[in-house]
């Protein structure tokens, strides 16, 4: 695919006869230089755009790691989750837990201890986990849920 097709999405229609040696010698090198400059400009614009998108995406990302034995909350989407917390989905809590971190399965995945009455998978991505700060008065009765 030629650079012209990449830029404009159609074939180039020129009135130059490439079979004529004079046209080829006079116009060919200048046209090639212009095309190279255009391709370099397109590449620099793409690089600038990709860098801008990456910096905006990285601004919202945080590096999170949890120690084995530490307690974490699990983020719950009340309308889509299999964990039913309360009768009203609008007023249900966003996070449930705390659950103990048993093991690190992968670089971004953790294995948690779950109560036996919750029938959900016990491996979670780090993006839906939140660190639990211990509070002595915080006691949860999982039999009510």
Question: Mind listing the pLDDT tens digit for each residue in 42-91?
Answer: 999 999 999 999 999 888 777 888 888 888 888 887 666 656 555 666 66
Q: Quote the CA–CA distance of 26 and 28 in Å, as a whole number.
A: 6
Q: What is the pLDDT of residue 86?
A: 57
- Reported as a single tens digit per residue, the pLDDT across 26-37 is 666 777 778 788
| Exposure string over 83-115, b if 16+ CB within 10 A, otherwise e | eebeeeeeebeeebbbbebeeeeeeeebbbebe
Question: What does the domain layout of the chain look like in residue ranges?
Answer: 3-59, 71-131
Q: What is the pLDDT of residue 57?
A: 87
Q: What is the pLDDT of residue 43?
A: 92
- Reported as a single tens digit per residue, the pLDDT across 115-129 is 877 777 889 888 888
Q: Is the Cβ–Cβ distance between 126 and 64 less than 8 Å?
A: yes
What percentage of the chain exceeds 70 in pLDDT? 72
Angle at 85 between CA 101 and CA 124, to 5 degrees: 30
Q: What is the pLDDT of residue 145?
A: 56
Compare 29 and 16 and report the one with higher pLDDT. 29
């Amino acid at each position: 695919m030629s650079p012209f097709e990449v830029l404009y999405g159609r074939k180039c229609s020129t009135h130059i006869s490439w079979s004529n040696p004079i046209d080829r010698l006079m116009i060919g090198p200048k046209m090639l230089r212009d095309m190279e400059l255009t391709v370099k400009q397109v590449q620099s614009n793409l690089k600038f755009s990709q860098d801008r998108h990456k910096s905006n995406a990285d601004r919202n990302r945080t590096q999170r790691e949890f120690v084995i034995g530490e307690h974490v909350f699990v983020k719950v989407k009340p309308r889509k989750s299999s964990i039913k917390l309360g009768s009203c989905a609008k007023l249900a809590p966003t996070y449930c837990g705390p659950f103990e971190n048993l093991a690190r399965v992968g670089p971004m995945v953790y294995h948690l201890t779950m109560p036996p009455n919750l029938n959900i998978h016990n491996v979670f991505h780090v993006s839906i986990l939140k660190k639990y700060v211990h509070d002595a008065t915080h006691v949860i009765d999982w039999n009510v849920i």
